[in-house]
Chain A
């Protein structure tokens, strides 16, 4: 699909810019130009399409679908719908209360809450662009299982007394409100949303791919395997911890990590790192502290954290 783009990049770098094909610099420049254009094309196309789909799937609709499902399948549906329904951190609380007060169990709500940021569209596009289909599929599937399992576990623990700031027993009607959205408004919304995302992430994409291109061109292959190879036990927990404060920078982090993987960081460690970046977010933690006691927040964070590390160890063990 991106063959013409590679041909264009080769022409640009080796002919127009007349760079020496065998030099390290030209390799890095070629990598940078090709990946930047590719990622930007993917971001524009995929985010626009997903945003259009999203205008048909309001949180009220999502809630209605989940409410109709029985226990276990409610978790499966909540995590799946979480993937296509992203929410910004500032909507985390209304969404959380809105789910609970319509009668969705706490555990099921957590399945949604975990899946949504971890498997977000920017992360998936970056993975697709930098790692290819297989790694993206592994990432989505692992994230999905973590979301379902965390929700099931939190649901099994008796944690409702650890909520605060609102009345969980209160029931609200599931009313879908608002003016009917027109086709023009749908497309305008999708365009604006896409524009907004590109505007926020493009500097990170450029910086991430820039540093990635440098590593790609200059750092010797397998340079990192003696520090972060699959046989190093500390690599996975360390990667998870480092990932937590990097929230929302999936756009910059993924190209960087892709280059590091090339130089010997193992796949499991990479997966843990990326999942910690997207799935464990400090700002979300702080916001949610208004409706959850610290103990529940710790349970939530450590459950997801353990799931992420388990995934890392598993893939380090499987793929050596």
Chain B
């Protein structure tokens, strides 16, 4: 199972990324679990400085920008 972690402190782009990531996972028909990471220390520990960011199984893939649907699907299915 893949843990899809959306990192951000509640900005509008973070919410958008969360929705997009969930939609992408559904379309890919994979076994997944969504996680929202908004604790400042957890965000710092993951090394993220710019939000929105997305990590798969604790590995940060994108930070500081909202990816397109194609790129998002690619990183989730990898």
Contact = CB atoms under 8 A, between A and B. Distances in A.
B40 A93 contact: yes
A48 B10 CA distance: 26
B44 A94 contact: yes
A185 to B, nearest CB: 6
B61 A59 contact: no
A88 interface: yes
Contacts of B51: 88, 90-91, 94
B68 A94 contact: no
Interface in B32-78: 40-41, 43-45, 47-51, 59-68, 71, 74-75
Contacts of B61: 177-179
B14 interface: yes
Interface in A48-99: 58-60, 63, 87-91, 93-95, 97-99
Contact of A189 (B8, B40, B50, B65): B65
B75 A91 contact: no
Given A90-B10, A90-B11, A179-B62, 16 more contacts: A59-B64, A60-B47, A87-B50, A91-B49, A93-B43, A94-B9, A95-B49, A97-B44, A98-B49, A166-B41, A177-B60, A179-B61, A179-B74, A179-B75, A290-B40, A291-B40
Interface of A: 58-60, 63, 87-91, 93-95, 97-99, 101, 165-167, 172-173, 175, 177-179, 185, 188-189, 192-193, 290-291
